[in-house]
Chain A
C-alpha cells in the first residue's frame, strides 16, 4: 500500500509516493535527497533530524511522512539566504559550536526555534531546551555560547 503526499519544503512544492510507515526524515533524505537532515538514533532521543514543520521544531523521525501532508517544512538546506548564512548558522561558526557536524543541522534548527520563541534566552534556558539534542563532540559549551549569540542577532541585537 502506498500513499501520495504533498508538502512545501524549503519554499518549493514537492510530492511523492510513500509507504504508510515512511518517516518524514526518510521522505526528506531518500525521496527528496535532502541529506542535511540526519538520523542519529532510533528512539527519538538524539535530535539530529530536527526540522521545522509549520514553524515549529519537530523531530522528523517522530512524524510519518503522511502526517506532514500539506505542511510547510524547512530543513537545514532552506535556512540560509542564498550564500548568506542565517544568523544562527553564522554564530555556530563564529563560536566553534560544531565539530563533526553530524548533530549540527538538528542543533541549529532547534536553536532557531528557541530564539523565535524566547527573547534573550538565558544559559539555563538554552541548556534545558537542548534536552532533545545530543552532541558527542563539543561538551555543549560552545553550542550554548553560539545559541546565545545567534539568538541576540536574530532579535536585532549585536554580539
Chain B
C-alpha cells in the first residue's frame, strides 16, 4: 500500500480551504448587481387564499418586484415534479396532486410559500413582506397521518380520497398467514418512528442569473445533485433546454438527503432573474429551513413476528402508515416503499414477509429521504421486534439473532421482499461488536451502576442496508423516473496531471480526497497531481449526484471504468513508442512496460505523446487522453453491521446517558479508513439524536411546528454524545469493480434501535417493555413514575 493509495488514511485535501475560511458556499457568492429575494410563507397549516394585497408592500423602500402564484401561472411555470411513481395494491397509480412553486389558491402547510419579494437588500425584502396582506380563509387541518385517514377528517387534495396517496404492499400475504398459524410464539409491537428535521448546518440558498447576451441561465444552489436539478427544473418547471441552463452546487454544508430535492426557491430565483434582468439571491434563515426543507421518517407501524419453539423466525407481518406531508417531495413515494419494506428481512432468514403501507397527505412539511431513508425505519421495526421476542421468550438477544442470521455461505441470498444480497458476514460483525463492547461483562457493570443508583441497559441492533440504488432498469420498473447510473471523466493533461470530473457531489464526504486517492493508486501518479471536480453541470458530462451511499459504489465504479479506458489507450501509445505489441504492454505503478523487459515509458511520457503526437500511431489512435465512462450498477450493494449501545438512566431525572457505543460494520473495501470512520461517527450522532433528543412536533390542531428552531428542536451537542468505538470487517461487494459497499448511512440506521433496546433493557427491571423515541428525560421519567408507587410529596 502506498502512502496515499487505496486503504491509506490520507488527510483530506478539501480541509485546507475549509479550515482557513476559504470555502465557497452558495451564500458566500455574490453576483454583480444582484437583488435579494424573501419568501412570504403561510402562517397557517391549511387555508384558502381569498386575496393578496401587494399595494403597500410594493411602495416599500428598495422593492423591485413582488410575485405571487398568479404571476408564475401566467408565465406557464410548471409545478415541482415527483421523481417516483408508486402503484396501489390494485395496480392503479398513486394520487399525484400538483406541487405549485408558489401557492395557487390554497396553502397546505405552515411554511408553504405564498409570495416572493425582491428588493435591493435582504432586509428590505423582508421588511416589505410584512406589508403584504393575505386574506386567508382558515380550513381545519389534518396533521397526524394515522388520524388523517379516519373518516370525516379534513381533505387536503381532491385527488387523494381519505388523504391517501397510495395503499401499497409487498410480499406473500398467504404464506405469511399460513406461517403465523404454525407459530409457537407471536410477538406484536406498535412503534412510532419519530419525524426528524435534517438540519444540515448550511441553510439552503440559491442564486439565479440570466445572461441576456447569450440567453444562458445559471443557478447556484445548495444541492446534492446539480444535474438532477437541471433536468427537473429545466424540463418540468421553467421549460428551459439543458444547453442553456447551468447548475452549480459549490461547497455545500451538509445535506443528509434534504438537499437532493428540487425546491421552489431554485425555480423562483432562476425565473425572476430573467424577468428582472438581474441576479436574484435567496438564503434561508434557519426558521425557514425548519418549515421548508423536506423532513424525514414519520412512520406509525404495527408489526408481528411469528417464531417456532426454538426461536426461528417463521414470518413477519408489518403494517405502516407513512406521513408524506402536504405535497409530494421529489423522491417521497420511494422512501416508505422500495427503500423500506424491501429491507424488512434485515440480516435474517425470515422465509415469509408481508408489508402494507398507506402513504398519507397531511398539513405538514413534505417528508422525503433523510440519512438512511426507509432503511432506518425498517431496521427499527425488525430490531425492536426481535429484541421484544427475545425478552418474551427469555432468550439472550444476541443468541436469538445468531440463530436467525443468514449464514455466510448462503450468498447470493434471495429475500422474500425482492432484494438479492450478494455478500455479508453477520456473525463476524456481531461477534466483533460483542467482544469490543465486553457484552459478556455487562452483568457486572449493571450491578456496579445499581450501586450508584443508576439503571444500566445494553442493546443490540444488527442491520442491512441497500445502497447504490440500481440497476436503472429495475428501479424504472419499480417507478423511478430517472436513471441511477453514474458518470466520470478522467482528463489527463499533457504533462501527466489529471482532472477527474464526477457526477457525484461531495458535501462533507471528502470525495476530493477519496477519488484522488483512487486515481493516484490506479494510475500511479502523485495524489497532488489529481484534481477532482464536482458540482457544475457545465464542466461535468452528467451525473445523478450523491445520496443513498452511492458515490463510491456507483461513481467510483464509473471512475474505475474511465481509468481503464485511459490505461488501455495508453497501452496502444506505449506499444508504438516501445516498438512492441500492445498485448505485451503491462501497466503498473505508473509505468507502461514491455513484459519481461526493462523497457518502459512513464505515464507522463505517454500523456505528453498523446498531446504532442509527433511519433504516434496516428492512423489508429486519436490524439489526446481524455476518457468518459458511465456505470450502471448490476445490483444494490449491501453494507451491514452490528451496533451495541450501553446506557445509564437516572431514575430521579429520567436522563439517559449513552456510556458506550460500539459499531462493527462491513462496508466492503475501504479506500480511506479515516473518512469512513468519520462517516460512521456522524451517522451515529444522528441516530443517537433520533433515539434520545430529536423530534419534529406539530400542534395537532393548528399544525404549527412547535419545534421550529434550535431552541425547541434538540440538536445533539458534544456533551450529549459518547466517544464511539468503531471497527470494520470486510466482505467484498461481488458486482462492482472496487468491491465497495458504501458507509454514509450506517450509523443512522443501526443506532436508533440499539439505543432504544438499551434504554428499554435498562428500564426492564421496573416492568417497562416499550418506550417511544425520543427517550427524552420527560418520557423516561413518566414511564418510571407510571411503574412506581407514587412517593409522598
Measured CB to CB, the residues of A under 8 A from B are: 19, 21, 29, 34-43, 45-46, 48, 75-77, 79-80, 85, 89, 92-94, 96, 98-105, 108, 123, 126-128, 130-131, 133-144
B253 touching A77, Cβ below 8 Å: no
What is the CB-to-nearest-CB distance from A121 to chain B, in angstroms, rounded to a whole number?
12
Interface hit among B18-26, B141-149, B523-531: B18-26
Q: Which residue of B lies closest to A99 (CB)?
A: B508
B254 touching A140, Cβ below 8 Å: no
A134 touching B717, Cβ below 8 Å: yes
Contacts A133-B718, A139-B681 given; indicate if A101 touches B14 (C-beta within 8 A): yes
What is the CB-to-nearest-CB distance from A43 to chain B, in angstroms, rounded to a whole number?
5
What is the CB-to-nearest-CB distance from B226 to chain A, in angstroms, rounded to a whole number?
16
Binary interface profile of B, 649-676, with partner A (CB < 8 Å = 1, else 0)? 0000000000000000000000000110
Per the 8 Å Cβ criterion, residues 679-713 of B in contact with A are 681-686, 688, 709-711
Contacts A35-B28, A37-B21, A101-B18 given; indicate if A136 touches B719 (C-beta within 8 A): no
Per the 8 Å Cβ criterion, residues 100-149 of B in contact with A are 123
The interface residues of chain B lying within 8 Å CB-to-CB of A140 are: 681, 685, 716-718, 721
A104 touching B18, Cβ below 8 Å: yes
Is B576 at the interface (CB under 8 A from chain A)?
no
Complex Cα distance, B510 from A142, in Å, reads 15
B681 touching A138, Cβ below 8 Å: yes
B18 touching A98, Cβ below 8 Å: yes
What is the CB-to-nearest-CB distance from B48 to chain A, in angstroms, rounded to a whole number?
30
Q: Which residue of B lies closest to A86 (CB)?
A: B19
Is B724 at the interface (CB under 8 A from chain A)?
yes
A139 touching B721, Cβ below 8 Å: yes
The interface residues of chain B lying within 8 Å CB-to-CB of A134 are: 201, 710, 715, 717
The interface residues of chain A lying within 8 Å CB-to-CB of B23 are: 36, 101-102
Contacts A40-B286, A123-B723, A130-B717 given; indicate if A138 touches B20 (C-beta within 8 A): no
B715 touching A137, Cβ below 8 Å: no
The interface residues of chain A lying within 8 Å CB-to-CB of B200 are: 100, 102, 136
The interface residues of chain A lying within 8 Å CB-to-CB of B15 are: 92-93, 98, 101
A93 touching B508, Cβ below 8 Å: no
The 9 closest A-B pairs by CB, nearest first: A36-B21, A102-B253, A101-B18, A139-B685, A100-B508, A45-B710, A99-B508, A130-B718, A76-B21
Is B509 at the interface (CB under 8 A from chain A)?
yes
Complex Cα distance, B287 from A19, in Å, reads 23
Contact with A103, one of B21, B201, B677 (Cβ below 8 angstroms): B201
What is the CB-to-nearest-CB distance from B326 to chain A, in angstroms, rounded to a whole number?
23
Is B211 at the interface (CB under 8 A from chain A)?
no
Binary interface profile of B, 166-204, with partner A (CB < 8 Å = 1, else 0)? 000000000000000000000000000000000111110
The interface residues of chain B lying within 8 Å CB-to-CB of A108 are: 19
Binary interface profile of B, 11-38, with partner A (CB < 8 Å = 1, else 0)? 1101111111111010110000000000
Complex Cα distance, B299 from A56, in Å, reads 45
Complex Cα distance, B715 from A143, in Å, reads 16
The interface residues of chain A lying within 8 Å CB-to-CB of B199 are: 136
B508 touching A101, Cβ below 8 Å: yes
Q: Which residue of A lies closest to B678 (CB)?
A: A96
Instruction: Name 25 A/B residue pairs within 8 A (Cβ), A-sorted.
Output: A37-B21, A38-B25, A40-B202, A42-B286, A76-B19, A76-B21, A92-B15, A92-B19, A94-B11, A96-B674, A99-B510, A100-B253, A100-B507, A101-B18, A101-B253, A102-B25, A127-B717, A127-B718, A134-B710, A134-B717, A136-B682, A137-B508, A141-B724, A142-B678, A143-B718
Complex Cα distance, B677 from A137, in Å, reads 12
Contact with A100, one of B252, B677, B709, B747 (Cβ below 8 angstroms): B252
The interface residues of chain A lying within 8 Å CB-to-CB of B719 are: 127-128, 130-131
Is B298 at the interface (CB under 8 A from chain A)?
no
Complex Cα distance, B688 from A135, in Å, reads 14
The interface residues of chain A lying within 8 Å CB-to-CB of B438 are: none
The interface residues of chain B lying within 8 Å CB-to-CB of A142 are: 677-678, 681
Complex Cα distance, B16 from A100, in Å, reads 12
Contacts A96-B11, A104-B18, A137-B508 given; indicate if A131 touches B201 (C-beta within 8 A): no
A102 touching B254, Cβ below 8 Å: yes
Complex Cα distance, B682 from A42, in Å, reads 24
The interface residues of chain A lying within 8 Å CB-to-CB of B747 are: 139
Residue from the set B18, B21, B251, B686 with the largest chain A CB neighbour count within 10 Å: B21
B710 touching A43, Cβ below 8 Å: yes
A41 touching B682, Cβ below 8 Å: no
What is the CB-to-nearest-CB distance from A134 to chain B, in angstroms, rounded to a whole number?
5
Contacts A36-B20, A101-B253 given; indicate if A136 touches B715 (C-beta within 8 A): yes
Complex Cα distance, B15 from A46, in Å, reads 20
B718 touching A131, Cβ below 8 Å: yes
A45 touching B682, Cβ below 8 Å: no
Complex Cα distance, B716 from A110, in Å, reads 18
A46 touching B710, Cβ below 8 Å: yes
Q: Which residue of A lies closest to B283 (CB)?
A: A39
Known: A85-B16, A101-B251, A139-B721. 7 other contacts (CB 8 A): A43-B710, A76-B20, A92-B19, A99-B682, A102-B253, A136-B256, A141-B681
Complex Cα distance, B684 from A69, in Å, reads 43
B20 touching A85, Cβ below 8 Å: yes
What is the CB-to-nearest-CB distance from B246 to chain A, in angstroms, rounded to a whole number?
22
Q: Which residue of B lies closest to A140 (CB)?
A: B718
The interface residues of chain B lying within 8 Å CB-to-CB of A127 are: 717-719, 721
Complex Cα distance, B23 from A105, in Å, reads 10
A35 touching B21, Cβ below 8 Å: yes
Is B448 at the interface (CB under 8 A from chain A)?
no
What is the CB-to-nearest-CB distance from B296 to chain A, in angstroms, rounded to a whole number?
13
Is B285 at the interface (CB under 8 A from chain A)?
yes
What is the CB-to-nearest-CB distance from A141 to chain B, in angstroms, rounded to a whole number?
4
B21 touching A77, Cβ below 8 Å: yes
Complex Cα distance, B512 from A100, in Å, reads 12
Complex Cα distance, B675 from A123, in Å, reads 22
Complex Cα distance, B674 from A141, in Å, reads 12
Complex Cα distance, B723 from A39, in Å, reads 28
Binary interface profile of B, 639-653, with partner A (CB < 8 Å = 1, else 0)? 000000000000000
Contacts A38-B253, A100-B507 given; indicate if A93 touches B682 (C-beta within 8 A): no
Residue from the set A42, A79, A85, A130 with the largest chain B CB neighbour count within 10 Å: A42
Contact with B711, one of A38, A39, A43, A99 (Cβ below 8 angstroms): A43
B201 touching A48, Cβ below 8 Å: yes
What is the CB-to-nearest-CB distance from B749 to chain A, in angstroms, rounded to a whole number?
14
Complex Cα distance, B715 from A43, in Å, reads 13
Q: Which residue of B lies closest to A132 (CB)?
A: B717
What is the CB-to-nearest-CB distance from B204 to chain A, in angstroms, rounded to a whole number?
12
The interface residues of chain A lying within 8 Å CB-to-CB of B508 are: 99-101, 137
What is the CB-to-nearest-CB distance from A136 to chain B, in angstroms, rounded to a whole number?
5
A105 touching B678, Cβ below 8 Å: no
Q: Which residue of B lies closest to A75 (CB)?
A: B21
Complex Cα distance, B16 from A80, in Å, reads 11
Complex Cα distance, B686 from A79, in Å, reads 31
The interface residues of chain A lying within 8 Å CB-to-CB of B16 are: 85, 93
Contact with A138, one of B27, B28, B685 (Cβ below 8 angstroms): B685
B11 touching A93, Cβ below 8 Å: yes
Complex Cα distance, B286 from A10, in Å, reads 28
Binary interface profile of B, 189-223, with partner A (CB < 8 Å = 1, else 0)? 00000000001111100000000000000000000
Complex Cα distance, B770 from A117, in Å, reads 45
Residue from the set A123, A126, A142 with the largest chain B CB neighbour count within 10 Å: A142
Contact with B12, one of A29, A96, A130 (Cβ below 8 angstroms): A96
The interface residues of chain B lying within 8 Å CB-to-CB of A139 are: 681-686, 688, 716, 721, 724, 747
B724 touching A34, Cβ below 8 Å: no
Complex Cα distance, B287 from A139, in Å, reads 23
Complex Cα distance, B285 from A138, in Å, reads 23
Per the 8 Å Cβ criterion, residues 473-511 of B in contact with A are 507-510
Residue from the set B27, B510, B681 with the largest chain A CB neighbour count within 10 Å: B681
